[in-house]
């Protein structure tokens, strides 16, 4: 398999603060990878190093087949960065932004105009093309921002928190856009603090916490890390809760109590759920719910471990 | 046929970014207007309000004061480079540009050139209005060209220093403060009243500060007065400031952008 991004043992600190403490990361060509982490985890620092804006301190960083330290100019020619804050020029129109970006990538005037026209169409911005970007909605501006990254067919597109600060509609807009990019075979590395976003967009997810990759894999693999599904039994009072708990523990279930609910890990099959209900048959149970683990559960479990108390 | 341009990269980069800066100027009409209206108001204040009382030793004070107003206008306008550079640095535009195969300082060069272009236009407007008000230069073609040349050098010097200032300060508001400092510099020169009329301390400053030889040479060239050594001094001062500004901006840019 060919990797568009290959990172080994990447370290970076600012003064005494270690931001990245030995990161390994690989993004296969034509896939969407997500770097997931809370604020301050080092996501933006990683993207800045990959896009040659910052110098790595130690480690091997190859992007599009080039070492970022040895051949930064070549890396810049082959990548595209859409930063955390919209970096579109608000005074210019959408079309002017695209043409300017093409020209800065040294396309001829004619080629830059042609590219701009095609991208406006592809990103559904034709009607707004000749309006100043200041008049765009958040979602439109971010779409334009992503379009600007595609002017010269980059080998990899870095999207740093592409939906931060967008309303739900804008976020959906950007999700659709990234989904289409993925379908057309563009390699994307995106950072996000939204688990739902990583789950929905990325082929592979790396969880960044405390300067290290706490876990990586597909969304399903990450969920499997913290076990299967949980059955929640909601009970009417503390007495019922206590009897349900003792019955469950008697039969070897490792149940957890939260308020007046009992959470029991299971494999999620109907047979096991039925068996559990029979175990507590003598107790009045108000409601039963089956929970699949969300990436939030994974995220909280992993980041709590990784952050030293 | 290749889709890539054959123009050398840096030339193309500065050209494209200059186009961007000029579009910004053309679209922020308020800034452009204030850069023209303010010097015109000052011109009116000095000619119609103070002018009668001052007389400044010459029968037509207008001829005396116009070169000072022109320099004031250029100083004020060039200082706005600090704001536009700072806005680019703080808005993330710079990160995007730096992730492109673009020479980083091309954006600074574009801001400086755009500032000069903008100020040539506003200076021409101020000059036009003062001609209507009765300003009567007697300069020949060579004098006009020399005066224009030294003014452009001044604009470039102030713009480059402003670009460096815009890289140092943390916000656009702070960057804007530079305009006011530069707005006052021409007052303490020979621009509006002869320095001989000032208290000793101010007179020393007014006679030797870099704006004075500039105003003296522009006035001398346009009015056909002896220029003496002031033209040489103006060129040395402002050529030196341009050099300092360019080097400082280059170093600061690398430091600030490359953290």
Give the distance from residue B26's alpha carbon to the nearest chain A alpha carbon, in angstroms: 10
Rounded Cα distance, A74 and A156, in Å: 13
Write the pLDDT tens digit of every residue in A119-161: 999 888 999 999 999 999 888 888 898 898 888 888 899 998 8
Please indicate, yes or no, if residue A22 is contained in any of the structural domains.
yes
Q: What is the CATH number of the domain that holds A164?
A: 3.40.50.300
The more confidently predicted of residues B168 and A267 is: B168
pLDDT of residue A138: 84
B96/A106 CB distance under 8 A: no
Do A77 and A200 belong to one domain? yes
Do A149 and A43 belong to one domain? yes
Please indicate, yes or no, if residue A78 is contained in any of the structural domains.
yes
Name chain B contacts of A82, Cβ cutoff 8 Å. Answer: 96
Tell me the CA distances in angstroms from A285 to A253, A276, A291, B224, one per residue in order: 17, 12, 17, 104
Candidates A45, A46, A48, A106: best to mutate against B (most CBs of B within 10 A) is A106
Please, which residues 228-257 of chain A have a Cβ atom closer than 8 Å to chain B?
none
- The DSSP line for B114-178 is HHHHHHHHHHHHHHHHHHHHT------HHHHHHHHHHHHHHHHHHHHHHHHHHHHSSSHHHHHHH
Please indicate, yes or no, if residue A112 is contained in any of the structural domains.
yes
Do A200 and A233 belong to one domain? no
Domain region containing A99: 3-224
Contact B215, B191 (CB under 8 A): yes
Q: Is A89 on the interface with B (CB under 8 A)?
A: yes
B93/A108 CB distance under 8 A: no
Q: In what order do the strands lie in the sheet with A229-234?
A: A256-258, A261-266, A229-234, A287-291
> Which single residue is written with the structure tokens 């089956």?
A290
pLDDT of residue B245: 92
Q: What are phi and psi of A17, to 5 degrees?
A: -85, 115
Name chain A contacts of B2, Cβ cutoff 8 Å. Answer: 108
Please indicate, yes or no, if residue A300 is contained in any of the structural domains.
no
Please indicate, yes or no, if residue A301 is contained in any of the structural domains.
no
Please indicate, yes or no, if residue A306 is contained in any of the structural domains.
no
B92/A89 CB distance under 8 A: no
Contact B230, B217 (CB under 8 A): yes
Q: What is the mean pLDDT of residues B201-225?
A: 88
Last-in-domain residue among A224, A246, A266: A224
Last-in-domain residue among A202, A224, A246: A224
Write out the two tokens for B151. 């003014």
Which chain A residue is nearest to residue B23, measuring alpha carbons?
A: A92
Q: How many CB atoms lie within 10 A of CB B53?
A: 8
Residue B6 has pLDDT above 60, yes or no: yes
Do A180 and A61 belong to one domain? yes
Do A172 and A263 belong to one domain? no
Last-in-domain residue among A206, A224, A242: A224
B99/A52 CB distance under 8 A: yes
Which chain A residue is nearest to residue B98, measuring alpha carbons?
A: A53
Name chain A contacts of B100, Cβ cutoff 8 Å. Answer: 76, 101, 104-105
Do A217 and A237 belong to one domain? no
Comparing CA positions, the residue from B33, B58, B37 lying closest to residue B192 is B58
pLDDT of residue B64: 85
Q: Is the ipTM of this complex over 0.90?
A: no
Residue B259 has pLDDT above 50, yes or no: no
Name chain A contacts of B93, Cβ cutoff 8 Å. Answer: 87, 89
Contact A112, A102 (CB under 8 A): yes
pLDDT of residue B145: 94
Q: How many CB pairs under 8 A join A and B?
A: 78
Do A135 and A271 belong to one domain? no
Comparing CA positions, the residue from A179, A188, A195, A198 lying closest to residue A158 is A188
Write the pLDDT tens digit of every residue in A198-239: 888 999 999 888 888 888 888 888 877 766 678 888 988 888
Q: Is A193 on the interface with B (CB under 8 A)?
A: no
At B217 the three-state DSSP class reads helix
Query: Which portions of chain A are predicted below pLDDT 70?
Result: 1, 85-86, 226-228, 295, 303-309
Q: Is A45 on the interface with B (CB under 8 A)?
A: no
In total, how many domains does chain A have?
2
DSSP element (H, E) containing B10: helix B9-27
Do A76 and A170 belong to one domain? yes
Write out the two tokens for A164. 């931060």
Do A56 and A121 belong to one domain? yes
Mean pLDDT, rounded, of chain B: 86
Write out the two tokens for B63. 């001829």
Please indicate, yes or no, if residue A298 is contained in any of the structural domains.
no
SS3 of chain A: CCEEEEEEEEEEEECCEEEEEEEEEEEECCCEEEEECCCCCCHHHHHHHHCCCCCCCEEEEEECCEECCCCHHHHHHHEEEECCCCCCCCCCEHHHHHHHHHHHCCECHHHHHHHHHHHHHHCCCCCCCCCEHHHCCHHHHHHHHHHHCCCCCCCEEEEECCCCCCCHHHHHHHHHHHHHHHHCCCCEEEEECCHHHHHHHCCEEEEEECCEEEEEECHHHHHHHCCCEEEEEECCCHHHHHHHHHHHHHCCCCCEEECCEEEEEECCCHHHHHHHHHHCCCCCCCEEEEECCCHHHHHHHHHHHHCCC
Please indicate, yes or no, if residue A12 is contained in any of the structural domains.
yes
Do A169 and A268 belong to one domain? no
Name chain A contacts of B99, Cβ cutoff 8 Å. Answer: 51-53, 76, 79-81
pLDDT of residue B152: 96
pLDDT of residue A35: 92
Name chain B contacts of A80, Cβ cutoff 8 Å. Answer: 99
Rounded Cα distance, B94 and A89, in Å: 11
Rounded Cα distance, B21 and B115, in Å: 8
Q: What is the DSSP letter of A42?
A: S
> Which single residue is written with the structure tokens 């903008």?
B118
Q: What is the CATH number of the domain that holds A239?
A: 3.30.70.790
pLDDT of residue B159: 94
Output Rg (C-alpha) for chain A, integer angstroms.
24
Name chain B contacts of A87, Cβ cutoff 8 Å. Answer: 91-93, 95-96
Strand partners, A256: A263
Do A60 and A39 belong to one domain? yes
Show the CA angle centred on residue B245, arms to residues B259 and B178, nearest 5°.
90
At how many degrees (to 10) do helices B141-168 and B230-257 cross? 30
Stated pTM of the model: 0.79
Do A220 and A255 belong to one domain? no
Residue B58 has pLDDT above 60, yes or no: no
Q: Is A51 on the interface with B (CB under 8 A)?
A: yes
Write the pLDDT tens digit of every residue in B9-48: 888 899 999 999 999 888 887 777 777 788 788 888 888 8
């Amino acid at each position: 398999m060919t990797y568009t991004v290959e990172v080994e043992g990447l370290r970076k600190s600012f003064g005494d603060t270690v931001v990245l403490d030995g990161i390994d990361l690989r993004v296969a060509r034509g896939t969407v990878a997500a770097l997931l982490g809370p604020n301050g985890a080092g996501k933006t620092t990683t993207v800045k190093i990959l896009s040659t804006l910052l110098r790595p301190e130690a480690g091997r960083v190859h992007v599009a087949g080039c070492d970022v330290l040895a051949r930064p100019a070549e890396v810049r020619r082959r990548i595209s960065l859409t930063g955390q804050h919209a970096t579109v020029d608000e005074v210019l129109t959408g079309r002017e932004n695209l043409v300017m970006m093409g020209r800065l990538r040294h396309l001829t005037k004619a080629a830059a105009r042609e590219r701009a026209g095609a991208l406006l169409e592809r990103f559904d911005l034709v009607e707004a093309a000749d309006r100043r970007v200041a008049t765009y909605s958040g979602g439109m501006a971010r779409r334009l921002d992503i379009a600007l990254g595609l002017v010269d067919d980059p080998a990899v597109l870095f999207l740093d928190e592409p939906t931060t600060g967008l309303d739900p509609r804008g976020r959906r807009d950007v999700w659709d856009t990234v989904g289409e990019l993925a379908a057309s075979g563009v390699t994307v590395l995106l950072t996000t603090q939204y688990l739902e976003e990583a789950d929905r967009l990325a082929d592979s997810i790396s969880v960044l916490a405390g300067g290290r990759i706490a876990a990586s894999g597909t969304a399903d693999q990450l969920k499997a890390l913290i076990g299967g599904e949980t059955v929640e039994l909601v009970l009417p009072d503390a007495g019922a809760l206590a009897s349900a708990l003792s019955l469950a523990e008697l039969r070897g279930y490792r149940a957890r109590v939260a308020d007046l609910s009992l959470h029991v890990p299971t494999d999620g099959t109907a047979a096991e759920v039925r068996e559990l209900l029979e175990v507590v048959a003598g107790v009045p149970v108000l409601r039963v719910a089956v929970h699949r683990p969300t990436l939030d559960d994974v995220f909280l479990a992993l980041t709590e471990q990784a952050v030293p108390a | 046929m290749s889709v890539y341009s054959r123009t050398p990269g840096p030339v193309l980069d500065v050209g494209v970014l200059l186009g961007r800066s000029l579009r910004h100027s053309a679209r922020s009409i308020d800034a452009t207007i204030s850069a023209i209206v303010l010097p015109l108001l000052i011109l009116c204040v000095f000619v119609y309000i103070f002018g009668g009382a001052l007389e400044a030793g010459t029968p037509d004070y207008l001829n005396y004061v116009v070169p000072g107003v022109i320099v004031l206008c250029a100083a004020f306008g060039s200082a706005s480079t600090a704001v536009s550079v700072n806005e680019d640095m703080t808005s993330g535009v710079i990160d995007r540009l730096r992730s492109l195969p673009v020479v980083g300082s091309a954006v600074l060069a574009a801001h400086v050139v755009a500032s000069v272009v903008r100020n040539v236009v506003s200076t021409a407007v101020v000059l036009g209005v003062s001609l209507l008000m009765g300003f009567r230069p007697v300069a020949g073609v060579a004098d006009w060209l020399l005066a224009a040349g030294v003014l452009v050098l001044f604009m470039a010097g102030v713009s480059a220093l402003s670009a460096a200032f815009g890289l140092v300060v943390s916000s656009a508001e702070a960057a804007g403060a530079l305009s006011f400092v530069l707005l006052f510099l021409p007052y303490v020169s020979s621009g509006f009243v002869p320095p001989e009329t000032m208290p000793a301390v101010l007179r020393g400053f007014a006679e030797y500060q870099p704006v004075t030889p500039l105003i003296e040479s522009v006035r001398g060239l346009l009015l056909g007065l002896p220029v003496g050594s002031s033209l040489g001094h103006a060129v040395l001062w402002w050529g030196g400031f341009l050099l300092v500004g360019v080097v400082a901006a280059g170093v600061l840019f690398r430091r600030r952008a490359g953290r």
